[in-house]
Amino acid sequence: MRKKRVKGVAMILLTAALLGGCGGKSAGSYYKDGIGYFNSGDYVKAEASISKALEINGDRADYYIDYGLTLVQLGRYDAAIPYFDRAILKKDNAIVNENNKAAYRGKGIALYKSHRYPEAVEQFNKALAIDELTNLNLDILYYKAEAQEKAGLFEAAAITCTDILKEKGEEAAVYNKRADIYRLQGEYEKSLKDYNKAIELAPNTYEYYFGKYFLLTEDKDTDGATAVLNKAASIKGTTQKDKFNIAKVNYYLGEYKIAIAEFGEALEEGFNAAYFFLGNIYEKQEEYENAISNYTKYINEEPTIESAAVYNQLAVCLMKQGKYKEALNYITEGLAYNDLTIQQSLQRNEVAANEHLGNFEAAYKLLKEYTAKYPEDEAAAKELKFLETRQAEYSTVKEKENQ
C-alpha cells in the first residue's frame, strides 16, 4: 500500500518542458524518459535516465526530488536523503514551496524506510506546514500516522488518524488503523468502537475482523473472539487473496491441519506471507526446525518486509534449540527496525540469550536498561536482583584471585 502511494504521487512535478542540450539528448528528454521508466516500475532505468538529466542540468529541484524517490524504490534510502536536501530552498514563492513540500515528503519516506521514525515525523510535519500541493496532504498524513505508530507515539498517531478522517471523511482503513493504535494503548473501548465502524463500512475486509479478534483475545473474551472469526469465515470470498485470508481464519481458530494445507496453496499463488504463519504453526507444535525453515524463507522471499516480528520469532526458535549466538544475530536485526510495537519482546530475548551464553555483565547491563524502560515487568525486576547477586559473587571471586 505504501509503495503504491510512493508511485502514485512520485512524479507530480513532471513538466512538459524539454530543456535544450548541445549536440545531444537534452536534460528534459532524459528526465521524461526517467519518468516513463519510473511509472512502469523499471527503477534501474529510471535511475540511469534521471541521473543523466542531473548531469546536464543540476539546477532543477524536481529532478533531485524524483531521483531521490527513484532511489527509495531501489531501497537506497540513505543515498536518497541528500538529493531531497539539495531540492529544498530557503525562498518563499509558490514553485519553491511546492518543491520543498515534495522534498520534505520524500525525505520523510526515506527516513521511514530506514526505520528512523521520529525523524520521518519531523519531515512530514514540515511538509504539512506548507500550504501548496494540498492534494499531497492525505498521503503525508498516512505516512505520518504509520511513522508515529512505529515510534511508539500512539497518542499522536491516533490524533493524526482523526485528522485524516476530518479531511477525507469516513474511511474503513483509517478507522481500522486508529483501532490498532488504541489497542496498543490499552484503550479497548475506543478500539472496539473503531473496529466495529471499520467492519460496518467494509464488511468483506478480513483484516478488520482480525484486528477485532486480537483485541477481544487480549481482553480475555474468548467467546467473542471466536464469534468474530466465525463471522469472517462467512464472507463469501472468491479471490486467491480471500482464500489466503480463510487460511488465516483457520490458523487463528487453531485448525492447524486445515491451515497448513491452505497456506501451501497460498504459497503456490505467490502469497509469501504464508511462510510466516506456517512458521508460527510449527513453532506452536514445537517443530522448531520446520519453524526456522519457514521464517527464513519468509525473510529470503520478502527482503523488503517491514516487520521485526519474524526476526523475534526466529530468535525464539533458535533459543529453544540452544543456539543462542545465532539467535542474538536475529535479535540485533530485529532491534534495528526500531519498531516499538515489538521492541520489548526483542530486548527481553536479548537479555535471555546473553545469560545463556554466560555473558552476565552484558545481560546485567541490558536488563538494567530493560527494567528502567519497562518497570511493570515484575519478573524482569526479580531477575535483575538475581543478576546483581551473581555480579557481586563474581566480583568477590575476582578480588580473591587478584590477591
**Per-residue confidence (pLDDT) for residue 339, from 0 to 100:** 86
Per-residue pLDDT of the chain (403 residues; tens, 9 = 90+): 444 555 555 555 544 344 444 457 899 999 999 999 999 999 999 999 999 999 999 999 999 999 999 999 999 999 999 999 999 999 999 999 999 999 999 999 999 999 999 999 999 999 999 999 999 999 999 999 999 999 999 999 999 999 999 989 999 999 999 999 999 999 999 999 999 999 999 999 999 999 999 999 999 999 999 999 999 999 988 999 999 999 999 999 999 999 999 999 999 999 999 999 999 999 999 999 999 999 999 999 886 666 789 999 999 999 999 999 999 999 999 999 888 889 999 999 999 999 999 998 899 999 999 999 999 999 999 888 887 776 666 666 556 666 6
Among left, alpha and beta (phi > 0; psi -120 to 50; other), residue 20 is beta
**Per-residue confidence (pLDDT) for residue 17, from 0 to 100:** 41
Nearby residues of 365 by Cβ (< 8 Å), 6 or more positions away: none
What cell does 310 get? 519474524
Identity of residue 245: N
- Looking at CATH, the fold of the domain delimited by 1-160 is given as 1.25.40
pTM: 0.82
**Per-residue confidence (pLDDT) for residue 15, from 0 to 100:** 42
3-class state of residue 153 by DSSP: coil
Q: How far apart are CA 374 and CA 350, in angstroms?
A: 14
What cell does 56 get? 546536464
Q: What DSSP state is assigned to residue 171?
A: -
